[in-house]
Amino acid sequence: MKKIALLLMGCGGVGRQLLHHIVSCRSLHAKKGVHLRVVGVCDSKSLVVTSDVLTGELDDAFLSELCRLKSNGSSLSSLSDFGECRVYANSESNNTILEIAALVGKSTGLAFVDCSASSETIGLITQVVDLGCCIVLANKKPLTSRTEDYEKLFSYPRYIRHESTVGAGLPVIASLNRMLSSGDTIHRITGSLSGTLGYVMSEIERGKRLSDVVKAAKSLGFTEPDPRDDLSGMDVGRKALILARLLGRHIDMDSIKIESLYPKEMGPDFMSVEEFLDNGILLLDNDVQERVKKASMNGNVLRYVCVIEGTRCEVGIQELPNNSALGRLRGSDNVLEIYSRCYSEQPLVIQGAGAGNDTTAAGVLADILDIQDLFS
Ligand SMILES: NC(=O)c1ccc[n+]([C@@H]2O[C@H](COP(=O)([O-])OP(=O)(O)OC[C@H]3O[C@@H](n4cnc5c(N)ncnc54)[C@H](OP(=O)(O)O)[C@@H]3O)[C@@H](O)[C@H]2O)c1
């Protein structure tokens, strides 16, 4: 049985779902001759580690208890009296993680899995790369920081996987990597990569007002607690940067043109969420409606997309033919159209749910299994 040691950063929606998937796939993985050995889990405040990192693991009963605690909003520090493990406070976590990475990385190999939503993990990840560890990311931030950090992460390209950073579990990164490694030249990528903005744009097209759609989306739980986090386009901008860098562009976030759906004066520094939803967003309705009408007179629809083509990398509202894959988009699906030498007339289209803990964690798990050959 091949044992893959892993250390999980972040135990929120995606991290917990990953642990559930690991436990529920035990017999499936056993049939494939693989066992995932969870040596440690951390949240923003603490790190929980098995007492024997070289051969031991946090067992399944412990992982279930850990998930139960985290779903109740507790910190991992409250696990101190449970089972054969050690709990470290935030201040000691990073050094302990580096010690574990050095020890386990050298001995059997270690998958360092970042399911946090933090930019604070970047420093640690760039260090564990040098300790021979594999990196699996759902967190976009390490891939969208400075070019030096990005290049450091890809020092050993076979040791890093990040499928879930764009389109959750959709095979976006894997498909692009296969095309690139076969010498196919990618000319253009156009993608609707935000479930929330995809939903908002398709509802507006049906005649609804922006303000009503955003409020409804918020009450259905489709948006971030502050919907401006979605409407700013920053998250789509990060995904665009990840794709552009994958295509070999040496750019950073500043090089990406990002259209925000609200003006600066309605930003979090100037208005509360309530003020924005009660007053601010109403002032944006007419403009968006005008743009929808104009597009429709041209036989087109409006979509909030990222476009990567030549030196162009931008994110914002675009008028697109209503009979294209993006134009037909309804609801919260993600859609990506890829034009290349092999797909020149009709694009390669990847479509499906681009968010959700289940599909995102499944993408992370598939990435971990994909690097199993790197473990001794
Ligand atoms: N959910 C999706 O549909 C989806 C899709 C694609 C990608 N992603 C990405 O997946 C990641 C996780 O998403 P999520 O929805 O699970 O987020 P979440 O529920 O907010 O969970 C984030 C977790 O990270 C922990 N954390 C914060 N700072 C940390 C640090 N410095 N070190 C270690 N852990 C830290 C948090 O700790 P506390 O519990 O102590 O706060 C929390 O457990 C994000 O980067 C997100 O962008 C999510």
Which pLDDT tens digit goes with each residue over 311-329?
Answer: 999 999 999 999 999 999 9
Centre a 10 Å sphere on the Cβ of residue 73 and count the other Cβ atoms it contains. Answer: 6
Amino acid 271: pLDDT:
96
Centre a 10 Å sphere on the Cβ of residue 209 and count the other Cβ atoms it contains. Answer: 17
Which residue has tokens 């603490």? 46
Model confidence pLDDT, tens digit, residues 177-208 = 999 999 999 999 999 999 999 999 999 999 99
Model confidence pLDDT, tens digit, residues 55-104 = 999 999 999 999 999 999 999 988 876 667 899 998 899 999 999 999 99
Tell me if residue 239 is catalytic: yes
Residue 336 pLDDT greater than 70, yes or no: yes
Answer whether 161's CB lies under 8 Å from 371's CB.
Answer: yes
- Compute the half-sphere exposure of residue 296: CA atoms within 13 Å on the CB side of its CA: 11
Report residue 132: phi and psi, to 5°.
Answer: 85, 15
Total number of residues shown for the chain: 376
Beta bridge partners of 37: 5
For the segment 209-231, the average pLDDT, to the nearest whole number, is 92
Q: What angle do CA 246, 229, 227 make, to 5 degrees?
A: 135
The helix/strand/coil state of 6 is strand
Annotated binding-site residue numbers for NADPH: 140
Q: From ligand 1's centre to the CA of 116, what distance in Å?
A: 3
Q: From ligand 1's centre to the CA of 21, what distance in Å?
A: 17
* Joined tokens for residue 149: 């950090």
Name the pLDDT band for 221 (thresholds 50, 70, 90). Answer: confident
For the segment 286-299, the average pLDDT, to the nearest whole number, is 94
Catalytically annotated residue among 2, 32, 239, 294:
239
Q: From ligand 1's centre to the CA of 14, what distance in Å?
A: 7
Tell me the pLDDT of the chain averaged across its residues.
Answer: 95
Distance CA 13, CA 358 (A): 9
Distance CA 86, CA 82 (A): 9
Model confidence pLDDT, tens digit, residues 146-162 = 999 999 999 999 999 99
Amino acid 191: pLDDT:
97
Amino acid 90: pLDDT:
84
Residue 242 pLDDT greater than 80, yes or no: yes
For the segment 35-56, the average pLDDT, to the nearest whole number, is 95
Q: Residue 11 CA: which ligand 1 atom is closest?
A: 43
Query: Which residues does 140 contact at the CB level (< 8 Å), separation at least 6?
Result: 165, 166, 235, 238, 239, 242
* Joined tokens for residue 211: 């303000």
Annotated binding-site residue numbers: 10-15, 140, 224
Mutate to test the pocket of ligand 1, among 46, 74, 75, 118 (most ligand atoms within 8 A of CB): 118
For the segment 334-356, the average pLDDT, to the nearest whole number, is 96
- Region of 104 (left: φ > 0; alpha: ψ -120 to 50; beta: rest) is alpha
Amino acid 220: pLDDT:
84
Q: What angle do CA 349, 339, 147 make, to 5 degrees?
A: 100
Residues of the chain with pLDDT > 70, as a percent, come to 99
Report residue 83: phi and psi, to 5°.
Answer: 70, -170
Q: Residue 76 CA: which ligand 1 atom is closest?
A: 40
| Kind of pairing between the strands at 110-114 and 160-161 | unpaired
Mutate to test the pocket of ligand 1, among 144, 170, 239, 360 (most ligand atoms within 8 A of CB): 360
Amino acid 84: pLDDT:
76
Residue 282 pLDDT greater than 70, yes or no: yes
Distance CA 8, CA 155 (A): 21
Mutate to test the pocket of ligand 1, among 14, 67, 87, 128 (most ligand atoms within 8 A of CB): 14
Q: Residue 121 CA: which ligand 1 atom is closest?
A: 31
Residues with CB under 6 A from ligand 1: 9-15, 42-45, 115-118, 120-121, 138-140, 164, 168, 355-357, 360
Beta bridge partners of 308: 189, 313
For the segment 287-306, the average pLDDT, to the nearest whole number, is 94
Amino acid 222: pLDDT:
83
Q: From ligand 1's centre to the CA of 139, what distance in Å?
A: 7
Report residue 156: phi and psi, to 5°.
Answer: -125, 85
Amino acid 83: pLDDT:
67
Q: From ligand 1's centre to the CA of 136, what distance in Å?
A: 14
Residue 24 pLDDT greater than 80, yes or no: yes
Distance CA 187, CA 73 (A): 46
Which pTM does this prediction carry?
Answer: 0.95
DSSP per residue over 288-337, as a string?
Answer: HHHHHHHHHHTTEEEEEEEEEETTEEEEEEEEEETTSTTTT--TTEEEEE
Beta bridge partners of 192: 335
Amino acid 225: pLDDT:
87
